[in-house]
């Protein structure tokens, strides 16, 4: 009789457990929160697809094939507010979705960008308009921008940069 009771107890326990596992409460779990700007920024590695430099004289564009290998050709923005670029350079960044701003420290210099586009698969970084002839800002960040961007216009496009009064650069990325 004791064996039969144990078998009955085990059978009842199995039915209760199975019934509990199959029980549907009728509620569905809440959807995950939407991916905000920070989530999109840190979602994967960003690969450059084009750059555009607008000046008072002309607009100059470069495509992905011309930009491969430059430090900014890829970015990985980490959740700990640091980034890694193509060359392995790392630095801190701050992204503010409220005003679409991204501030990065690149080779020791603070650089500021507007982020006009940040979608799940595309990102655009836009630099400030830089006045160079005459130069109205002599900060290290502006000097770096003039050296890198105006220098690139001279080296890559043969532009006489002494004839340019200002430029504004933007970079487009996909992942």
Q: Which residue range is the domain that position 59 belongs to?
A: 37-174
* pLDDT (0 to 100) of residue 90: 95
Q: Considering only CA atoms, which of 102, 125, 122, 124 is closest in space to residue 175?
A: 122
Do the domain assignments include residue 150? yes
pLDDT by residue for the chain (175 residues), tens digit each?
454 455 555 545 444 444 454 555 567 878 767 888 999 999 999 999 999 999 999 999 999 999 988 999 999 999 999 999 999 999 999 999 999 999 999 888 999 999 999 999 999 999 999 999 999 999 999 999 999 999 999 999 999 999 999 999 999 999 8
Asked if residues 137 and 129 have their Cβ atoms less than 8 Å apart, the reply is: no
Do the domain assignments include residue 95? yes
Do the domain assignments include residue 76? yes
Do the domain assignments include residue 44? yes
Do the domain assignments include residue 27? no
Structural domain count of the chain: 1
Do the domain assignments include residue 146? yes
What CATH number did the domain enclosing 149 receive? 2.40.128
Strands of the chain, DSSP E: 45-55, 59-63, 74-77, 82-85, 90-96, 101-106, 109-118, 122-127, 130-131, 166-174
Do the domain assignments include residue 84? yes
* pLDDT (0 to 100) of residue 138: 94
Do the domain assignments include residue 153? yes
Question: Is 80 in a helix, a strand, or coil?
Answer: coil
């Amino acid at each position: 009789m004791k064996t039969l009771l144990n078998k009955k107890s085990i059978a009842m326990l199995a039915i209760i457990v199975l019934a509990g596992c199959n029980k549907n409460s009728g509620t569905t779990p809440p959807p995950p929160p939407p991916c905000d700007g920070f989530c999109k920024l840190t979602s994967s590695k960003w690969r450059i697809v084009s750059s555009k430099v607008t000046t008072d004289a002309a607009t100059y564009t470069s495509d992905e094939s011309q930009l491969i290998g430059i430090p900014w050709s890829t970015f990985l923005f980490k959740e700990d507010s640091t980034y890694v670029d193509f060359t392995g350079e790392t630095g801190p960044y701050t992204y503010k979705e409220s005003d679409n701003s991204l501030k990065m420290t690149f080779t020791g210099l603070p650089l500021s960008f507007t982020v006009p586009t940040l979608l799940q698969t595309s990102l655009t970084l836009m630099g400030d308009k830089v006045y160079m002839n005459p130069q109205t800002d002599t900060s290290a960040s502006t000097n770096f921008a003039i050296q890198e961007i105006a220098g690139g216009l001279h080296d890559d496009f043969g532009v006489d940069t002494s004839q340019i009064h200002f430029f504004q650069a933007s970079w487009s990325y996909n992942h």
